[in-house]
Amino acid sequence: MAKMKLYYSPSSPYARKVRVLAMETGLDKKIEMVNVALTPVAPNADVDKHNPIGKIPALSVKGMDLFDSPVICEYLDSQHKGRKLFPRKGRSRWLALRQQAMGDGLLDAALLARYEGALRPEEKRWSEWSQGQIKKMNGVLDQLEAEAKSLKGKLTIGTISVACALGYLDLRFADMGWRDKRPKLAKWFAQTSKLPSIKATVPPAA
């Protein structure tokens, strides 16, 4: 396998998915990490070269640039011989991909709420927009609480995504109190947070 380069930032929750999966599969030693800074209004020329959408994570493999995080994660999962984090088929695959979609969907809403409340000039903020995104975040959190049982067991791309999303809430939305009234999800996350790959990738406090 050619040497791979991962464009990431230590605080990006989508890039964290890739870093966790790489550690879980032993691929982390084969990936050169390139730490970059960017926002939707301050792009990074180096990232743009490898991902025309200008987002991280982007993975450069010989002759091919891959994005976004679900594609990079599935590609990496095809490059090792150990236990697969993308179940190959059947109900377990749809369960994991659905969980990934919930984690990523929670993040998409959280990032938009964050940009609205921290990046955008104050006089241009629209509270209905933020409220709409926070409603989505709470919708996913409630659903995850209702399905907490399905999160148990060894890590998959689904549970990695959920853990990275919850970690981002602790970084940027600590005031939200997402654990309140969601004891099962909180308990699962507390246990999952002890895993070495999750511990090693906790985003640095701002």
Q: Which stretches of the chain bind a copy of itself, using CB under 8 A?
A: 40-41, 43, 48, 52-55, 64-68, 70-71, 74-75, 78, 89, 91, 94, 97-98, 100-102, 104-106, 108-109, 115, 120-121, 123-126, 128-129, 131-133, 135-136, 139-140, 142-143
By beta-carbon proximity to a copy of itself, the closer residue of 78 and 205 is 78
CB of 164 to a copy of itself, least distance (A): 16
Q: Would you list the DSSP string of the chain?
A: ---EEEEE-TT-HHHHHHHHHHHHTT-GGGEEEEE---BTTB--HHHHHH-TT--S-EEEETTEEE-SHHHHHHHHHTT-SS--SS--SSHHHHHHHHHHHHHHHHHHHHHHHHIIIIIS-GGG--HHHHHHHHHHHHHHHHHHHHTGGGG-SS--HHHHHHHHHHHHHHHH-GGG-TTTT-HHHHHHHHHHTTSHHHHTTPPPP-
106 near 176, Cβ under 8 Å? no
By beta-carbon proximity to a copy of itself, the closer residue of 102 and 163 is 102
By beta-carbon proximity to a copy of itself, the closer residue of 91 and 194 is 91
CB of 52 to a copy of itself, least distance (A): 4
CB of 158 to a copy of itself, least distance (A): 11
171 near 205, Cβ under 8 Å? yes
CB of 202 to a copy of itself, least distance (A): 25
By beta-carbon proximity to a copy of itself, the closer residue of 31 and 140 is 140
By beta-carbon proximity to a copy of itself, the closer residue of 115 and 173 is 115
CB of 89 to a copy of itself, least distance (A): 7
d(CA 61, CA 88): 23
CB of 78 to a copy of itself, least distance (A): 7
By beta-carbon proximity to a copy of itself, the closer residue of 147 and 170 is 147
List Cα–Cα distances, 173 to 62, 152, 177, in angstroms. Answer: 38, 25, 8
